[in-house]
Amino acid sequence: MQTSTFICGAVGLDTDLSFVYQLFSLMACILIASRISLRFQIPEVSVRRQLPKYATAGEPFEYFVNVANEGHRVERDLSVMDNPRVVPPEFQQFRQSKEPGEETRNAYDRWIGWHRFVWLQRVNTGINVITGHVPDIDMRGSELATMKATPLRRGAVHFESTTILHPDPLGLNYGLVDFESREQLTVLPRRYPVSRRFEFEGGRHFQPGGVNSTWSIGESDEFVSLRDYRDGDPIRKIHWASSAKRFKPVVKEFQDEFFVRQALVVDTFQQDPEIFEEVISVGASLLTAFNNADGLMDLCFQSSRPEVITAGRGYAQVSQQLEALAMLNQSDSDPADLIEMLSERSRLMSGCLLVFAGMDTPRLELIKAIEHRGVQTAVFVIRREGDATPMRSDFHLLEMGSVEAGMADL
């Protein structure tokens, strides 16, 4: 309608040659009336977003926006736009990044970089949300609008507001009503299916404190014997009935427990950003594949310092480890700190999974430090096609562009 009005106005400038100006006047009056009517039909509604706890990068999902009618008329033909926080790229990111397929654009577009800027802004914003339709809402009623969204990256996505669109009586224009609605969605890393043929047990190791330590405190529930009290024994281990009979404290002894405790080491040291994202995805895939309710999994990585997140019986959930991976950034810290920490913890490990971006001397030293303690390892190396860096024959090599296929063929 707006385009037709503009064309009629341009063609009908000379009123002596054409009567199109009359059509222009009619259409202009209709447009002005439709815009004014929007001022008198503002819907009295409230909105509440219902986000899931997690989403996964690259996988479309649905969520709901509850729209409640607080007015005295039925609200029809409303639409909902959900507005994430727009994050433009920083200058350094703009210089270092390259839009996929940028080499196919003409020289002018590559020099200006507008398409790269738009792509980076979309990725930094983190999510693409499609406008949803709201069913007709009765007076004092409420309806759910189904929203379809696709996360474009891992990490935190911030929503800032929700917009209700309402049409004029002729359906020519839409009015906007904005509602501030700040909320955060955690987007987990992309995960790949791991081949069922790939097994990594690594044996069972003694765990100080036994099974109960993975639930609360103490040792195994398996009773072994009674013995005399020794200095330092906890009061909770005293067997009060036997102590009363013997007129001296007697304590219970429990069987030591051995169970599987694996570690997953994720390479966060400075590297190619695209390869780093695949390292995170492979790490997340292994965490999901080796989720063992009867054992423990230590997620080890280096941020500003070495960190360990343990999941399993009585500890964190795997979802918390995935959330940590979702928020993980590259580190410029000294790898020696991580090597020292893993060397100390290796006595507890049944086995260790390591995910690296390429291979160099510090990474080899890290592998040797763990294997020197007798810990079985499985090393995954993500690299670009054509990388001829010498590798050990027992490494699992995954090439960029075919990482998913490589995980399925382990």
pLDDT of residue 128: 95
The SS3 assignment for 122 reads helix
The SS3 assignment for 40 reads coil
Domain extent listing, the chain: 2-38, 45-87+126-188, 221-254, 258-408
pLDDT, averaged per 10 consecutive residues of the chain (410 residues), comes to: 68 64 74 77 91 94 95 90 94 87 90 92 94 93 95 95 89 87 94 85 50 41 66 77 82 63 87 88 91 79 88 81 92 84 82 89 86 87 85 89 88
Please check whether the two domains, 45-87+126-188 and 258-408, share a CATH topology: no
Residue 295 vs residues 127, 218, 349: alpha-carbon distances, Å? 36, 17, 11
Distance, in Å, from the CA atom of 175 to the CA atom of 391, rounded to the nearest integer, reads: 62
Looking at the domain that runs over 258-408, which CATH code has it been given? 3.40.50.410
CB within 8 Å of 226: residues ≥ 6 apart: 239, 242, 250, 251, 252, 253
pLDDT of residue 92: 87
Q: Of 292, 310, 385, 373, which is closest to residue 340 (Cα–Cα)?
A: 373
pLDDT of residue 51: 95
Model pTM? 0.78
Q: Of 348, 44, 371, which is closest to residue 204 (Cα–Cα)?
A: 348
pLDDT of residue 41: 81
Overall fold of domain 45-87+126-188: Immunoglobulin-like (2.60.40)
Helix, strand and coil in the chain, % to nearest 5: 30, 30, 35
Burial (CB count <10 Å: 0-12, 13-18, 19+), residue 78: buried
Q: Please check whether residue 89 is in contact with residue 120, taking contact to mean a CB–CB distance below 8 angstroms.
A: yes
Q: Please check whether residue 8 is in contact with residue 31, taking contact to mean a CB–CB distance below 8 angstroms.
A: no
Q: Which amino acid is at 200?
A: F
Burial (CB count <10 Å: 0-12, 13-18, 19+), residue 410: middle
pLDDT of residue 36: 78
Q: Please check whether residue 65 is in contact with residue 80, taking contact to mean a CB–CB distance below 8 angstroms.
A: yes
Alpha-helix residue ranges (DSSP H) falling in 217-298:
240-246, 273-289
Q: Of 390, 338, 380, which is closest to residue 360 (Cα–Cα)?
A: 390
The helix (H) or strand (E) run that includes residue 369 is: helix 361-371
pLDDT of residue 257: 55
Residue 66 vs residues 79, 236, 320: alpha-carbon distances, Å? 12, 52, 28
The SS3 assignment for 292 reads coil
Q: Which amino acid is at 130?
A: I
CB within 8 Å of 227: residues ≥ 6 apart: 250, 251, 253
pLDDT of residue 67: 95
What's phi and psi for 248, nearest 5 deg? -155, 150
